[in-house]
Structures are given as structure tokens and as C-alpha cells.
């Protein structure tokens, strides 16, 4: 059976510099039915598509838990990951594991930039917490050093942080997901003061990708049968 990604119509390439909108947005049709799909179903789909079952593997060694506590507070793990996944859906920073790995890294870096800025955490501290955790995940061979350095080069976290400050993005830490569970995604975004199409859809066109990296990403997309 062919991948649902391969059936998507490729974006039209213009003559200007490549941007994250063309090369780092997921090819999966996440936004196709967000006018009617309840947030509950959208979050579950995000988890199902990515094979998320249950809670992530506990952090080891134990000091990794310090990063998670500083980022997420003392809430129960179930609530932490529920709000985190809902934030991906609501901000439009969704991805799959059947795409170039930088798409996933970008989704996480941008979501965390939004998240820390919306909470009022100083940028330098948020950057250290996110990329500190990312490098530790690389050391555990869960993430890729190459993708992390590419994300840093593009300034993904910083650009997302600046966007959230500029637009006064709603606090993604305190949003009451349970009260929006049965509301269509677009309506949930309206109630939270988020762009109806997702904050990522507004930010990604602003992020230019150097020509050499853009060419490499296009080759990576072709490996998944998608022309960008």
C-alpha cells in the first residue's frame, strides 16, 4: 500500500529563495478537515500516524528528568504529553516519521519556541532547555546531531520565539485542552486567539533555507517519493 504522503499534490516552486513553508511543512494532509474534526480526534490521529502508544520511555539517567520538570512543571506525565500533542495540532507544527528527519526536528523546535515564549520564559533559557535536551537525546541515539545542528543553523527556535512574542501568542502551558476536546480544531484555535490555519503556516514562509540545504532537502523528499 502506498504512503498517504506520496498522493499529496506537491507545492508549486517559485523563483525566490526556498523557505520552510516549501521544504519543512509536513506532506500529510493534517489541515484538510480541521474545520470539522474535533481536537480530540486530531490529537489521536497525530499520535496514531506517528505510532505513539502510551507514554514515552522514562528519562534515563535520572538527571534528564530535571529538563522535563523545568520545561513542563510538576504536572502528571499524561497531562504533559496531552497538552504537548494538542499544542502541535493547534499550532500546526505536525509531522510524520515518513518524511525527512528535519521536518520532525523543525516541528519540535518551532513548537518549543512558541511554547517558551508564550510562557514568558527568557529566550536564552528556553533555548538551553530545548537544545540541551535535544543533545542529550542525540547522545542516547534517539535524535540526530546532524538534524539538530541544521535546526540551529536555520534559527528555528529563535524565529518561533520571536513570532510568539510579536503576535502575543496565547499561553500554550495553561490552555484548557479538556474544555476544547470536542470542538473542531479551527474553532479551538479561534477561541485561543491562534491563527485559524495554525501559527506555523504564518511563520514558515518567513524562514529562508540556504540553497545547499534546500537542494539536500529536495533530494531527501524524493527519497519518500515526493517532489518539492
User: What is the residue-averaged pLDDT of the chain?
Assistant: 87
Predicted local distance difference test score (pLDDT) of residue 5: 55
Residue 30 or residue 173, greater confidence: 30
Predicted local distance difference test score (pLDDT) of residue 52: 81
13 in a structural domain:
no
pLDDT (tens digit per residue) in 148-167:
999 999 999 999 999 999 99
What does the pLDDT average to over 175-202? 96
- For the entire predicted model, the pTM comes to 0.86
> Is residue 169 within 8 Å of 194, Cβ to Cβ?
yes
Residue 1 or residue 35, greater confidence: 35
41 in a structural domain:
yes
178 in a structural domain:
yes
Phi, then psi, of 32 in degrees rounded to 5:
-60, -35
Predicted local distance difference test score (pLDDT) of residue 10: 46
Domain membership of residue 125 as a residue range: 20-222
Number of domains in the chain: 1
pLDDT (tens digit per residue) in 207-220:
999 999 999 999 99
What does the pLDDT average to over 177-194? 97
Neighbours of 155 (CB within 10 A): 15
Poorest-pLDDT segment among 1-15, 39-53, 93-107, 117-131:
1-15
For residue 206, the 8-state DSSP code is G
155 in a structural domain:
yes
7 in a structural domain:
no
* % of residues, the chain, pLDDT over 70: 84
9 in a structural domain:
no
Confidence of residue 138 (pLDDT cuts 50, 70, 90): confident
Residue 128 or residue 12, greater confidence: 128
145 in a structural domain:
yes
Q: Alpha helices, DSSP H only, in the chain? A: 20-23, 39-49, 64-72, 77-91, 101-119, 123-139, 145-154, 156-167, 185-192, 199-203, 211-222
218 in a structural domain:
yes
Amino acid at each position: 500500500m502506498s504512503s498517504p504522503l506520496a498522493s499529496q499534490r506537491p507545492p508549486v516552486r517559485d523563483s525566490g529563495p526556498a523557505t520552510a513553508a516549501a521544504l519543512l511543512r509536513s506532506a500529510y494532509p493534517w489541515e484538510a478537515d480541521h474545520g470539522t474534526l474535533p481536537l480530540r480526534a486530531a490529537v489521536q490521529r497525530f499520535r496514531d500516524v506517528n505510532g505513539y502508544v502510551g507514554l514515552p520511555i522514562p528519562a534515563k539517567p535520572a538527571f534528564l528528568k530535571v529538563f522535563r520538570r523545568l520545561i513542563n512543571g510538576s504536572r502528571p506525565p499524561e497531562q504533559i504529553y496531552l497538552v504537548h500533542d494538542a499544542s502541535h495540532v493547534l499550532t500546526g507544527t505536525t509531522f510524520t516519521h515518513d518524511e525527512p528527519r528535519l521536518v520532525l526536528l523543525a516541528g519540535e523546535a518551532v513548537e518549543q519556541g512558541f511554547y517558551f515564549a508564550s510562557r514568558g520564559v527568557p529566550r536564552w533559557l528556553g533555548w538551553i532547555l530545548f537544545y540541551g535536551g535535544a543533545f542529550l537525546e542525540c547522545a542516547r541515539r534517539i535524535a540526530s546531531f546532524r538534524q539538530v545542528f541544521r535546526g540551529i543553523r536555520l534559527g528555528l527556535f529563535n524565529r518561533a520565539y520571536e513570532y510568539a512574542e510579536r503576535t502575543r501568542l496565547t499561553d500554550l502551558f495553561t490552555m484548557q485542552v479538556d474544555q476544547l476536546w470536542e470542538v473542531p480544531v479551527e474553532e479551538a484555535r479561534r477561541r485561543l486567539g491562534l491563527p485559524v490555519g495554525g501559527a506555523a503556516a504564518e511563520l514558515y514562509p518567513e524562514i529562508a533555507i540556504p540553497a545547499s540545504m534546500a537542494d539536500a532537502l529536495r533530494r531527501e523528499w524524493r527519497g519518500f517519493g515526493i517532489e518539492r
